[in-house]
Amino acid sequence: MTHGMPSAAPDNAKDIPPDAPGRNQEASAHGTPFPPDRRMGDSTLDEGSPAGRKLFLCFFLAMLLFSLCLLYYLLEPFLHSIILACVFTAISLPFYKRCLRLTGNRRMPAALIVVFGITVLVVVPICLFAAGFIPQAGASLAAVNQWLSGAHLGDTLNTHIQPLLQLLHEHFPDIDISLTDIRGNILAFSRNAGQYILASASGFLGNTLRFFGHLLLVLLFMFCLFLQGESLLRRLSYLFPMKSEQTAIVIESLRRTSKAVLMGSFCVAALQGVAGGIGFAIVGIPSLFWGTVMAFAALVPVVGTGLVWVPAVIVLLIMEEWKHAAFLTAWCGIGVTSIDSILRPLLMRGGADIPVIFIFISILGGVKAFGMLGFLYGPMIFGLVSVMLDIYAEEYQDILQSRNRGKE
């Protein structure tokens, strides 16, 4: 034996029991970093044991959650663009399939045609709208404030409101309301509303570069989804821990809800705004600004565009513009309002069957939570909750029925 070298392991080392003294030290001396048997209580920590499987599952879920959080922070600046791209891709899918047939099932030319068409239909009108909206908005609000500050409002209040106030004071002497208070409140409301509209429009134009950057990303994401969206959707459906038919129902519900909102609400509101703007232009009222206001008012159920054109008719009557008032009443009361009753069922064909009042409430909540994109997100969230409740009711139908029978 050479001095300083470890002695060779005995030939009968394999006969040494695992728990014999010095066994672990010998394993370490031969280069084994850990003892061959590592115990936790009575169960060995290997991947086949219950403790090993539990440890592996916890570690895997923690790493999966960590990676998803990192992915969220990575994609968070582009999240709205990705969602809008998915929505517009789902809505324009029928047109894309027609382009596929025209191009001989070549995906790239068909995707280019659809993206170019959306660019022409969306980007160009937005540019024209932004170029003319701000100047006309400022001029319109200045004209309204000037009219309210002049003699027209005072004469109208003295003629129509003063007799009502006198009658009110005779029956309810404790109520103290004067024409000065009413006029001051109207002027204050007009100024505040004008400042809010101008500030919102100025903020929109101030973020024009950012807006077009996101729009470019939306178009780029749409192009990629047209090329690879089908395989990506199959992959996501496979990974969802739901039945395949349930996953298809959820996806189809989101598609129909977004179609119902964009086509049945936004497109109808935009058409009503355009038609109302034409009527305003004929009677000499600034058409671009008030047509835009009418388009937003069209989203309000029941009253809708009447929030805009009825006060305009009243102002024309006060100014003794009888012909213009009669024309605007017929134009908006018959023509503009009929757009909603005729075109909405056609545009919403195949869309989600969501009552208008629920769409309006979800839009209000969505705008408060997400800003302007809440116009789309709110109804989509409402539709998602609705379809998940339907799936829950179908999945646990037997339990729910037996429980309800027990209550009876």
pLDDT in tens, the chain (408 residues): 444 444 444 444 444 454 444 444 444 444 545 454 444 444 455 666 777 788 888 898 999 999 999 999 998 888 888 888 888 888 888 889 899 888 888 889 999 998 888 888 877 777 777 666 666 666 666 666 666 565 555 566 566 566 666 666 666 666 666 666 666 666 666 666 666 665 655 555 555 667 777 888 888 999 998 888 888 888 888 887 788 788 888 888 888 878 777 777 778 888 888 898 899 889 888 777 788 888 888 877 677 888 888 888 887 887 778 888 899 999 988 888 888 777 776 766 555 566 767 777 888 888 888 877 787 888 888 888 888 888 888 888 888 777 776 665
| Same-domain pairing of 211 and 188 | yes
| Same-domain pairing of 90 and 205 | yes
| Same-domain pairing of 313 and 176 | no
Please tell me the distance from the alpha carbon of residue 134 to that of residue 114, in angstroms, as a whole number.
31
In-domain check, residue 248: yes
| Same-domain pairing of 97 and 178 | yes
pLDDT of residue 13: 46
| Same-domain pairing of 206 and 273 | no
pLDDT of residue 65: 93
In-domain check, residue 374: yes
State residue 21 phi and psi, 5-degree precision. Answer: -60, 135
In-domain check, residue 50: no
Where does a domain end: 239, 265, 280?
239
pLDDT of residue 40: 44
In-domain check, residue 162: yes
How many CB atoms neighbour CB 231 within 10 A? 9
Residue 100 C-alpha from the chain's centroid: 29
pLDDT of residue 254: 81
In-domain check, residue 323: yes
Sign of the CA dihedral with 27 first, then 30, 36, and 39 last: positive
Please tell me the distance from the alpha carbon of residue 71 to that of residue 69, in angstroms, as a whole number.
5
**What is the total count of domains within the chain?**
2
Burial of 372 (0-12, 13-18, 19+ CB in 10 A): exposed
| Same-domain pairing of 83 and 232 | yes
Q: Which helix (H) or strand (E) holds 43?
A: strand 43-44
Where does a domain end: 239, 261, 296?
239
Where does a domain end: 239, 255, 284?
239
pLDDT of residue 6: 45
Total residues belonging to the chain? 408
Please tell me the distance from the alpha carbon of residue 154 to that of residue 140, in angstroms, as a whole number.
20
State residue 39 phi and psi, 5-degree precision. Answer: -110, 145
In-domain check, residue 359: yes
| Same-domain pairing of 262 and 366 | yes
| Same-domain pairing of 228 and 247 | no
| Same-domain pairing of 273 and 319 | yes
Residue 262 contacts by C-beta under 8 Å, 6 or more apart in sequence?
Answer: 87, 91, 376
In-domain check, residue 105: yes
Residue 370 belongs to domain spanning: 242-396
| Same-domain pairing of 144 and 248 | no
Structure token pair of residue 338: 């009929």
> Nearest to residue 343, comparing CAs of 271, 274, 277?
271
Burial letters for 49-62: b for 16+ Cβ neighbours within 10 Å, e otherwise? eeeeeeeeeeeeee
| Same-domain pairing of 338 and 249 | yes
| Same-domain pairing of 225 and 264 | no
In-domain check, residue 135: yes
Q: Which helix (H) or strand (E) holds 106?
A: none
Q: Tokens 């519900």: give the residue.
A: 253
